[in-house]
Each structure stands twice: as C-alpha cells, then as structure tokens.
Structure 1
Amino acid sequence: MAKKKTAEERRQRAAELKAQRLKEERRRKILTISGVVTAVVLVVGLIAFLVFMEVRSRSVSNVAEYEVPSYEHVETGQPVDYEQSPPVGGDHWSAWQNCGVYPEPVTPEFAVHSLEHGAVWINYEPGLPEDQVEQLVGMYSAGDYLVISPYEGEMEAPIVASSWGRQITAETADDEMLQRFVRLYERGTDVPEPGASCSGQVAETAAEVESLLTGGGAEGGEGSGEEDPDAPAEGSEEQPMEEEE
C-alpha cells in the first residue's frame, strides 16, 4: 500500500512540475511579447517625437509669399524696379553676389540672382545694435547659402530675411521664426536654379560696384581685375564681377 501511495505521489509531483514549467514558459512568452511591444511603442513614440520636432522646427509662421512672374537677365548696370523692399526675386544682373557677410549694403540685382540659386538674404537696418548684428553674423558658416548685409532701403522691421518668393520680418536676431526660416529655405530647391553656385562671382559691396560701373573699372558687368583687399566679404571668394555664361 505504501509503494502505491509513493507512486501516486510521484505522478502528482511530476504533474505539478509540468504545470509549473508550462506556467513559467507562458510567463516568459508574455514577458517577451510585452518587452517587444514596449520596445516597439518606445521606438514608434521616439520616431513620432522626432518627426514632430522636425516638423515643428521647420514650421514657420508669418511668412509673406509672393509670385515672381519674371526673372530674366538684364544688362549689368540697368537698375531693376522691385516690388518688394528688400526684393524677393525678379529680373537681375547676370552675375550673382557671393554668399557671405558684408559690412555694407550689396547690390540688389546681384543678391536677387543669389536668391535664384537658393540663398537666403538677411538684411538689417544700418542702426541695428552691434550685439544684434553679431548674432546675425554668427548665423553664417563657410559654405552656407546666406547673404547677410545692412540695407538702406525701406523695410517693415529691423531685420528682414528673404528667399525666392518669400519673406519674413523680425525685431531681433534671436527670433525663433527667423531661425526656422533660414533652416527651411537656405539652399532652397523650389527656386529657378536650385543647387547653382553661390560663390566665385561678385564680392564687392554696392558702393564698390557703383564705383566700378561709373568709374570705368567695369563695363557691362566685366570685372576690372582688381579688388580692395581691405573690404572683402566674409565667407566669399575675392573675385571680380563676371558675366554668367
């Protein structure tokens, strides 16, 4: 009788162990599935967050948009009457303004050509505080498609940034919308000549260009072959004006 009871107990114990093993296997499966689901949720959540932040960083409000019906090359030296001030596009001269930082105003007809290549042109009032100017200058790094210069014409705000067909105003250099505008439209692709160069052409300021054109140093946009080494544009190549082929 004792042997029969012992055998029964062994069978019962074996059943208990089997049930426990199956329970542990189910528990491991549940934990594994839960871990996978949690990881997927975290990854999806992270991706969604990054997408949200990217969209947010590129969302720009208060951008004025304009149609640019004509963008022909006109004779170098022939002034163009732009509808916007500063201009956002239109007819322009054959050479373009080298991207970079300029201490004096640049020629709009050259800068508009830079916009056509995907540049952003940041203009500021000549009386803008020096610390604000320094912040704007700090936005430029070598190779960027940015032209930064003071502007002596009428502007709706102390700082105005323009890309081809678009413009935004700002009161200060650290304006978040200004920063987003530059990130979104610098090297713009929805321009007449995306990817075209923004260097190797005009490094002179407007006053220097005017002197070259009126003083006989340049005719029809051809460079004099000489430049003032004391006033080059930061980040731009020191080369004379040349006509675009």
Structure 2
Amino acid sequence: MTNARKARQATAEKAAKLRAEQAAKEKRRRIGLVAGAAAIVLALGGGITAIVMTAQSQQKEEDARLAATKLDGLKEYEDLDANHVETPVTYEQTPPVGGNHNPTWLNCGIYAEPVPNENAVHALEHGAVWITYRDDVPESQVEQLKDEVGNQTYMLLSPYPSQENPITLSSWGTQMSVDTADDPRIEKYIKEYKQGPKTPEPGAACTGGVGTPEG
C-alpha cells in the first residue's frame, strides 16, 4: 500500500471515529435531556400533588370549623305573608325578614345608604342574605363586611340606623345579630341561609330590579 493510500485510509478511519464519538455524545445529550425533562415533570407533579393535598386539607379544616360553629341567637319566623303591594309596609321585625313587599326586588350588592325595606324583602324572597349595620359600627368593621359580601351573588349590605344590634343578618324567615364583623357565625349564617331552606323563590333574579349597588 502506498503512503498516499495509507494516509487516506487513516484520515477516513479518524473521521469515522470522530463521527461515532459525536453520535455517541449526541445520544447521551438526548438521553440527558429526556431524563431531565422527566425529572422536572415528576418534580412538578409532586409539587402540584402537594399543593392539591394542602388545599384539600385546608378545606376539610374549614368545613370542620364551620360545622362546629353554632348559630347562637338565631331567630326563625313562620307563616309570613308574601303579597306584592305598592304601598309602604309596616314590618314586625327590624330589619324585616319577610312579609308583603314591593313588586320589584332590590338589586343585590353593597349600598352606602339605607335601602327601601319593601324592595329588600323582595330580594329575600329570592334567596338573598341581607347584612345591615348601625351607624356606630366602626368603618374598619364595615370594610370587613364588604369583604365578606365581596362579589358573592344573592348578598345585600346596607346601613340600617334604627336597628337594635350593631350588625344583623336577615334572610326570609330567619334573623341573627352579632356585635362584631369578625364573628364566625356570619360566615356560617351565609352558608346556611343564602338560597336557604326557607327561600320562597330560590334562584329567582337578584339583578334587573331597582337600586344601584356600589359593588
């Protein structure tokens, strides 16, 4: 074999070896990428699982807390009239919990001024919970009540200067009063009586009536 031929053969062998090394290196790189991606997926999956399990645990604790909360002071009223009338109505309860009312319901939401009883009672007939507060309730507590109502449907919040207690929650046929906005009974009451068992017309509209709530 001539020297030139030997040189060409050596060059070809060297090139083949280099290609083989590069192919092996690329294979290892792909394997590493796949393994890394798999590890990330597993890690993310584990993290998501942990988040879900934590959320479920917190929800169970919250449900248990609400279940243990007793609605002390709850009052119930039966056999309430529910006729539509155009005239003012004198109610036995303050705020009212039902009875004859205006043909047009009050739009649910947050009000900065007192609202008409007759329209609010119609909203109760549709399953709303109406939270009212006296003028002497601190603004910080009013803000807490606003946060509680938030963007929930079938909720009313308004001042009611003449009521006896600082804060009162009313739904059709039920009522409960508390002294402060952080009372745990508020959340329990809403859960039990918004669209609750006494609602005469569950699911009826709480928008499209009268009143312009701020939130």
Structure-2-length-normalised TM-score = 0.67
CA change 1:198–1:58 in 2 (3 A) is farther
Residue 105 of structure 1 corresponds to which residue in structure 2? 114
2:158 equivalent in structure 1: 149
Are the equivalent residues in 1 in contact too, given 2:69–2:185 (CA < 8 A)? no
Equivalent in the alignment of 2:192: 184
Task: Confirm or deny that 1:60 pairs with 2:71.
Answer: yes
Aligned residues of 1:58 and 1:181 also touching (Cα < 8 A) = no
CA contact (8 A) 2:108 2:123 kept: yes
Report how far residue 69 of structure 1 moved.
2.9
Aligned residues: 157
State the shift of 1:141 in Å.
Answer: 2.7
- 5 Å-filtered alignment, 1:22-101, equals 53=64, 56=67, 59-75=70-86, 78-101=87-110
Q: Which runs of 5+ in 2 are unaligned?
A: 1-56
Distance change >3 Å, CA 51–CA 178, structure 1 → 2: closer
Equivalents in 1 of 2:66, 2:127: separation in Å?
21
- RMSD (CA atoms): 2.1
2:171 — aligned with what? 163
SS of corresponding position for 1:138:
helix
What do the CA deviations read for 1:148-194 (whole angstroms, capped 9, x no partner)? Answer: 000022x2310011011000001000111122111211122431101
8 A contact 1:89–1:115 mirrored in 2: yes
Larger displacement relative to structure 2 (91-100 or 143-152): 143-152
> Deviation of residue 93 (structure 1)?
0.3
> Does the residue aligned with 1:142 lie in a helix, a strand or coil?
coil
Match of 2:144 in 1: 135
Instruction: Show structure 1 runs of 5+ residues with no match.
Output: 1-45, 204-231, 236-245
Percent of paired sites with the same residue: 46
**TM-score for both structures, normalised by structure 1:** 0.59
1:234 correspondence with 2:207: no
| Equivalent position to 1:197, from 189, 195, 205 | 205
Displaced runs of 4 or more, over 6 A = 49-52
Q: Secondary structure at the match of 2:157?
A: strand
| SS of alignment partner, residue 162 of structure 1 | strand
